[in-house]
Structure 1
Amino acid sequence: MGSIKVQKLTKSFGIHTVFKDVSFELHRGERLGLIGANGAGKSTLLKCLIGEEEYDDGNFIVSAGETVGYLQQNITYDAGLTLRQLLTEAWQDVLRLEKQLKETEQVMRERPQDTELMGRYARMQEKFEWLGGFAYESMSRKIVQGLGFSAADMERPVQEFSGGQKTRINLAKALVRRPDYLFLDEPTNHLDVDMLEWLETYLLSYEGGILIVSHDRYFLDRVATGILDLTDGGVKKYKGNYTQYKIQYRQQRDALEKAYQKQQEHIRETEDYIRKYKAGIKAKQARGRQSQLNRLERIDLNPEAATLKFSFSPAVESGQKVLVLDDVCGGYTGKPLFSHLSLSIRRGETVALVGANGTGKTSLLKLIMGETTPTSGHIVWGSRVQPGYFSQEHTEFNGRTTVLAEIMDTFSYGEEEARSVLGRFLFRGDEVDKTIGALSGGEQARLALLKLFLQGPNFLILDEPTNHLDIPTREILEKALLDFGGTYLVVSHDRYFLDTIAGRTLVLENRTVKEYLGNYSYYREKRQEEQQAAQEKAEPATAIPKKKEATGKIRASEHIKKSAPSSYGKEKQLETIEMKIAELEATVKMYEVQLSLPENMADSQKLMTLNEQYEKTVEALQQAYEKWETLAE
């Protein structure tokens, strides 16, 4: 089995050591989640592995002949380059090889007895199949469609797409070649729920090794087979997904703390004995104990990383009705986002608002907050409601203002009091003198949360509050919301976060909202039941793939038709098995070519081996057909 090996990798910037002696292995079929606090060095480690950064010491070893793909952020593309052209660029070596195969086929027809030429053709054919040449068009199409792009988008210049769409384009470019190993840096950014679930299904069927930097715990629970925790400049590997890692980490940390406390007690008792008897009748025993203490291997208990320390003040009680939207219509000129939308939120409700990108979730929050005006209908606030708004764009900040001045001026604090509350949100020392425009996304989010905390609201309206936050900070925010005691409405793509904090889910689609009385997982379960019921009621005729045999050769992918709409889970499973069928059929085709070559037909042993491999592939293909039929019924 192939693997990549990282051996004692070390990286520093000046006197600051980012990480030291980092070692781990990634095997084909493994999916490792790389986690750690913001600033721990996760992205730097990936850049060292793919050659964008030079590491100071250590080794990075990739098995011979194996390839690595990398999800890059913020790529600059040539003007006028279309999405189709960009993806075609990823297949240039395959297209060149395809052209060479066709040219060689022509020469073979002219020189049918040239066994050396036939052997070269067989090797080219095998390489073409290994590179995914038989399925590159369908592979590209499936990936861009799964990431939310239409056929028309293929002809659009890449520069015309939004920032979120460009992130998805970068992801498509990383996935389309199916390299032996994938390095993904925050692949879930800017993906809505449907795209996230498509990506999870795709990666679960991926046969190579994957290294993923992510703060998305739900994603890591679905995808990861192991976790690499980058903390204090070193890395430790845990088996299982994120939830399993948390259990193991807590158990190991608790055991280490107990052992540390026990050892510290032993050291204190020994030192007391030495001080008491070093000059007396038991001086010899005291010297012996000192020698034992000198040889003792001390347990190293590094302090756990500093995290935010905050909780919302007890909320002033509002009226029973907190917010009512009555027959609200709104949106942009020529593009209505809401039509006759009605909903109400009562005191103490914990509400999540979800929906695909572009459905208008942020626009709805801005409408509620009065930043925009509905074209018709009414928005009514309840009595004694004190709203607090967290905007994902942080437009309330002046980039030239310092962190310290922002808190002092907004809340009329003295410098000492402002520094105290900033310290609880990890702004310490010279960091408070930074301008807000110089802060990272995570630092701006922390500052916005601090301001929200200090306002003392009883109704929180939060738009993507976990964006740019590392996992420890997300968990502190979850606890603060659960202890809040007030009412909140949250827009988020963080499914783990929503499962933890939401008791009611509103789904924005088709210009209105639908209500589910549970958290995110409850909503997805009910949605699948609804889709299944609709499927059964419609009783669609489903096309079944036909297996056509001619002189022992199978050709069937052209007979797999698009099935009628089915449940979301079935659609994803069907997509996965169709991709597998296409790969198996390509392999069958490759073996058929090799079986027909004169040089192989003259070698009885090789012919027998090839025929065995061919029959095994045919059997696997037959099983794939049967699985497709079962799913499509």
Structure 2
Amino acid sequence: MISITNLSYYLGSRALYENASLHIKPNQKIGLIGLNGTGKSTLLRIINGEYQADGGTISKAGDVTLGFLNQDLLSYQTEDSILSVAMQAFERQNKLQKQIDEVLHEMETDYKDELVDKLGKLQEEFEALDGYSVQSRAEEIMEGLGFSTEDLQKPLRQFSGGWRMRVMLAKLLLQKPSLLMLDEPTNHLDLPSIQWVEKYIQTYEGAVIVVSHDREFLDNVIDVTVEVANAKLNYYAGNYSFYLEEKALRNEIQKGAYENQQAKIRQTERFIERFKAQATKAKQAQSRVKQLARMERVDDVIDESARVNFKFQFSTQPGRHILHLDDVTKAYGPKKILTRADIRLERGDKVALIGANGRGKSTLLRIISGSEPVNEGNRQLGHNVSFSFYAQHQLESLSVEDTLLDELKHANPTKSEGELRGVLGCFLFSNDEVFKKIKVLSGGEKSRVALAKVLLSQANFLLLDEPTNHLDMQSVNILIQALEQYEGTYVVVSHDRYFVSQIANKIWYIEDEQIKEYHGTYDEYEWWMEERKAGKAEAPPAPTKPAATNGAVNGKKSGSDDERREWQKTLKKLNQQAEESETKIGQLEERKKRLETELADPATYGDDKLMQAKNDEYSRVKAQISQLQDEWETAMLEAEEWEKKLA
């Protein structure tokens, strides 16, 4: 269908492609993968004719049509309805419909045979092109991509960039090109829409090339993986999981060949060095020199699996209870998001908040952070909880004139330049790249800097809204490693199923204006949802609220005077316990700070015994603080219940 032969393309002196070849067959589903900057999007633009290759040929069959979804389409705006924009895909049908309408209008005043014949021919062609069903097909695809029936008549200009991208995707799908090229299509889709697109591509009659960082999406839609590496297009006859296994095997074979060749080169060089000055062996030595010059060298395997080697820590240990949303109601005008919703978050919870767009996931994160007011209800943060919030709009808050090092220094002034370089190295910024200014970074690079800032903030509670958007697979893997070793609590909103499956031990979703919780991994949740849809599993119970203990019936206070006096004594005792715990925590925190200063003193770490003693004491103090924080929080919660009883 399309044959790419010996393709070369240069950016200045750097070769993005050099003698690269690929043959695209009809109905093939190809995943184009590779590190950021290797030229994946560039290849799509070369195939589309936007960029001209510096060498090689691209041959296309005469009847091949192309459709290209790319991020540039985000800027397209019009006052036309989104349904009209999508139906621009039916160029011939739209033209015929206009001509039919004109003939019918003319026939209202002049009913002559020529017009009847003309109308018959137009209608015949229109019917042959399935013109009478094009609108219903457009509506079906638009609704599959998440638009409501009411949305379809709204002008495109009213929608955000992500929703405009969906309209452009719908238009491409309706055009049904021979080759559909999709550049990061899942970036602006929610989970139900991603799953719908997966099913559509699986049955798509044409060929597809997709660039995506979503591993599960690739596994579900592609049957061929093409890796862009070393200016070549490397072909793997399987999906992404197959590629990982096959590449590991190829790397093992290549590593063995490289090491064998290096051993042979060393042996040959020793022979040349030993015998080049001897007359009887000089000819043989010269022959070996020529042999080395002619030898086609095997490249060593480059390890592309970046690993996090930095410990992300926080200085303040929170209490057992991190957050309680109590009877929270949130609405925007008539649109209700939450109604008397209740949820609790405990220390160590790793929560993924998932679901369709428009359900209120980002709103819930803002409510948790305190930046979004609620109509009713309470938000209670636990003792010593400090949080950091990552969202896409916060990329704009990066100081554009700062270097990467400066930006991270603002996030944590206590870290040395070496430590900050280590963190930037984890997020794929090395050597002189750390001195780049924020303003020259791409969207994905800014995302990595913002994520590094969040993890450096020493917060013990993280809120992350779509952190994997604009990250390549290597960066997503780094974030997974960082979150796996993070000892705090977090709530993450993400539509990347592989990412969620790796980092979450609880799943939250919003249903019937309530926050529902599934205790388990994403894979378990997905299985349970399938069972539930099939009617084989019940919905999990809504998070239970504490039993009412306010002692009031029909507005009247209950309990005799003697009982109430006992209750007051209990409340007073609990408050005293909380105050005593708080005082002890303050004293221990001071001791902990002094120990930290002593541990940093050369006189301490120069003496092994003293260092060990100080370390042991530091560990004991930390454990005592943690225990007292739990006791303080338990006393405060019990006191709160007794206060309600006495109210």
Pairing 1:80–2:79 present: yes
Q: Which residue of 2 aligns with 1:508?
A: 510
- Paired residue for 1:453? 455
Aligned equivalent of 1:41: 39
Indicate yes or no: 2:409 matched with 1:408.
yes
Secondary structure of the structure 2 residue equivalent to 1:468:
coil
Following superposition of structure 1 onto structure 2, how do residues 193-204 of structure 1 map, counting pairs within 5 Å? 193-204=191-202
Match of 1:326 in 2: 326
Tell me the distance in 2 between the aligned counterparts of 1:24 and 1:134. 40
Task: List aligned pairs for 1:197-216, cutoff 5 A.
Answer: 197-216=195-214
TM-score (norm 2): 0.73
Q: 1:420 to 1:78 in 2, by over 3 A?
A: closer
Tell me the residue number matched to 1:91: 90
User: Greater CA radius of gyration, 1 or 2?
Assistant: 2
What is aligned with 1:620? none
Separation in structure 1 between the aligned mates of residue 497 and residue 165 of structure 2, nearest angstrom? 20
Is residue 178 of structure 2 the alignment partner of residue 180 of structure 1?
yes
| 2:354 partner letter | V
Tell me which residue corresponds to 1:597.
Answer: none
Q: Deviations along 1:381-412, whole A, 9 cap, x unmatched?
A: 33343433322322542334443332334433
SS at match of 1:188: helix
Partner of 1:293: 292
Specify the alignment match of 1:439 in structure 2: 441
C-alpha deviation, 1:366, in angstroms = 1.6
Give the Å deviation of 1:351.
1.4
Once structures 1 and 2 are overlaid, which stretch shifts more, 168-177 or 75-84?
Answer: 75-84
Instruction: State the aligned residue count.
Output: 522
User: What is the TM-score of this pair, normalised by structure 1?
Assistant: 0.75
Structure 2: unaligned runs, 5 residues or longer:
539-647
Residue aligning to 2:522:
520
1:566 is matched with which residue? none
| 1:236 Cα deviation after fit | 0.6
* Aligned partner of residue 393 in structure 1, secondary structure: helix
> Quick check: 1:365 aligned with 2:378?
no
Q: Which residue of 1 aligns with 2:235?
A: 237
Contiguous gaps of at least 5 residues in structure 1: 537-633
Match of residue 57 from structure 2:
59
Residue 256 of structure 1: SS of its match in structure 2?
helix
Distance 1:134 1:408, change over 3 A: same
Structure-2 change in CA distance of 1:98 and 1:363 (3 Å): closer
**Shift in CA distance, 296/90, structure 1 to aligned 2, threshold 3 Å:** same
CA displacement at 1:345 relative to structure 2: 2.3
| Structure 2 partner of 1:354 | 354
1:482 maps to 2:480: no
**Quick check: 1:499 aligned with 2:497?**
no
In structure 1, C-alpha distance between the alignment counterparts of 2:480 and 2:421, rounded to whole Å: 24
Aligned AA for 1:207? E
Counterparts of 1:103 and 1:91, CA distance in 2: 18
**Equivalent residue letter for 2:20:** V
**Which position in structure 2 is the counterpart of 1:168?**
166
Q: CA–CA distance in 1 between the matches of 2:297 and 2:130?
A: 54
Following the alignment from structure 2 to structure 1, what is the Cα–Cα distance between the partners of residues 173 and 296? Answer: 48
Matched-pair contact (CA < 8 Å) for 1:311–1:453: no
**Which digits, 9 at most, give the CA deviation of each residue in 1:511-538, with x for residues without a partner?**
22222222223222211221221899xx
Secondary structure at the aligned position of 2:8 is classed as strand
Question: RMSD across aligned C-alpha pairs, in angstroms?
Answer: 3.3
- Aligned partner letter, 1:89: Q
> Amino acid of the residue matched to residue 506 of structure 1?
W
Secondary structure of residue in 2 paired with 1:189: helix
Amino acid at match of 2:269: E
The CA deviation at 1:428 is 4.6
Deviation readout 1:484-523 (Å, 9 max, x if unpaired): 2333221101011111221211112332222222222322
Q: Is the 8 A contact 1:308 1:426 kept in 2?
A: no
TM-superposed CA distance for 1:373, in Å, is: 3.0
Q: Are residues 445 and 95 of structure 1, via their aligned partners in 2, closer, same or farther at CA, if it must alter by over 3 Å?
A: closer
2: CA distance, partners of 1:524 / 1:414:
44
Greater Cα offset, 139-148 or 305-314: 305-314
Alignment of 1:275-294 (within 5 A): 275-280=273-278, 282-283=281-282, 285-294=284-293
Query: What amino acid maps onto 1:378 in structure 2?
Result: N
Answer whether contact 2:389 2:463 (CA < 8 A) is retained. yes
Determine if contact 1:331/1:363 at 8 Å carries over to the other structure.
Answer: no
Do the aligned partners of residues 529 and 418 (structure 1) sit closer, same or farther apart at CA in structure 2, a change above 3 Å counting? closer
Which letter maps to 1:320? R
Separation of aligned partners in 1, 2:83 and 2:466: 32
5 Å-filtered alignment, 1:379-394, equals 379-394=379-394
Task: Indicate if the aligned counterparts of 2:87 and 2:135 stay in contact, CA closer than 8 A.
Answer: no
Identify if the C-alpha distance between structure 1 residues 331 and 37 changes in structure 2 by more than 3 Å, giving closer, same or farther.
farther
Deviates more, 1:398-407 or 1:58-67: 398-407
Residue 377 (structure 2) aligns with: 377
Distance in 1 between residues matched to 2:359 and 2:348, nearest whole Å: 26
